Each structure stands twice: as C-alpha cells, then as structure tokens.
Amino acid sequence: MRIISGKYKGKRFDVPHTFKARPTTDFAKESLFNILSNNYVDFDEQPTALDLFSGTGSISLELISRGCGSVVSVEKDFKHWQFLSRICHELGDRAWKPLHADVFKFISKSSSLQGFDIIFADPPYALENLGDLPELVLNSELIKYDDNGKSESVFILEHGRNYDFSQHSRFIEHRSYGSVNFSFFR
C-alpha cells in the first residue's frame, strides 16, 4: 500500500496477508482525491475527516498526507486497528487518531463530536445494511452545517456495483472505477 500524494508521498506500508480488508485501488484512490480537490474540499484549509471502516488505513493515510487538520479512523477489527495504530505511531502524526470501535455504535454516539468536512466509508461490500449508511451518516451529528442549515460536509460511500443511491435526496454524483464505486452525498 502506498501514499500517492502530499507530505508522505511515495511512502509504502506492507499490509499483512492475513487481512480481510481490500484496500481501495491506487487508480480509484487517485481519482477520488482529484474529485475531492477539484469539487468539494480545499486541502489547504486543513479540513477534518472521518474514515469509517478504515481497514488498511489507505484512505486515512492519504487524507493525512494531503493536509487534513485531523483524521479519525474507525475500525472494528482488532488486528486492523493495531496495524493502523502502529503506522500512526511510526509516522508520529498527531493529526491522525485510529479508534477501535464498531462504526454503527460510533455513529449513534456521534452527538458528543463536532461535524467533519469529509466523511468516507468503505464497508465490506457484502455488509448486510450497507444501504442504510447514507441515511445513518447524513442524519447524524457527524455532518457540519452552515448558519443557513446547508450541509458543509461531503460524505463518500465506496460500494459495489449492485447499489444505486441516485434517488437519495442528498445524492450528488456517482463515479465508477472497475469494481470500485463511489457515491457522493451532501
């Protein structure tokens, strides 16, 4: 796994072969960050980010590398969380905080947090309630709003091709890169 751009550009991390997580492909990840930079986020303003179902930490690392002021990574699998914590310690980057937690419990307890500028979720494609994630996230305290009640957050859901969120009221766009699909919401 490698970091594509930013202050840690080119840094590589060996993901244990025993991991069940599938990292987002470099091609899809680079495309995602081009879309974010060109349409939704100014990384020079040090946005805050949340990475749900962090897995290998590929997206979290890219967010930190590109200048996010803080990144919270939520991962339920203990071995994956240990891996994230080790990398975080190796980097010594205080902006990154890996949490060992269940994503659904984390979302339900989000009222004690302030909102994030970027929320990314890459659940297992076979997750039974994957289709519920947009509603859960967009109706939680994880979303930032301006004084007029307009969402300032962008939520990106990575999913398989068998999901279509285009009818969701807060859906913005869909991008597909092979078997990797991103749906964007505000």
**pLDDT at site 112:** 62
pTM for the full predicted model: 0.95
Q: In angstroms, rounded to a whole number, what is the distance separating the alpha carbons of residues 62 and 6?
A: 8
Q: In angstroms, rounded to a whole number, what is the distance separating the alpha carbons of residues 152 and 155?
A: 10
Sequence-separated (6 or more) residues with CB below 8 Å from residue 4: 26, 29, 30, 33, 62, 65
Q: In angstroms, rounded to a whole number, what is the distance separating the alpha carbons of residues 103 and 157?
A: 13
Sort 66 into a burial class: Cβ within 10 Å, 0-12 / 13-18 / 19+: buried
Angle, vertex CA 172, rays to CA 166 and CA 176, nearest 5 = 70
Nearest CA-CA partner of 13 in 61, 49, 54: 61
Whether the CA torsion 36, 37, 38, 41 is positive or negative: it is positive
Nearest CA-CA partner of 73 in 116, 37, 108: 116
Per-position pLDDT tens, the chain of length 186: 899 999 999 999 998 888 877 778 889 999 999 999 999 999 999 999 999 999 999 999 999 999 999 999 999 999 999 999 999 999 999 999 999 999 999 999 876 677 999 999 999 988 999 999 999 999 999 999 999 989 999 999 999 999 999 999 999 999 999 889 999 999
**pLDDT at site 29:** 94
Phi, psi of 50 (to 5 degrees): -130, 125
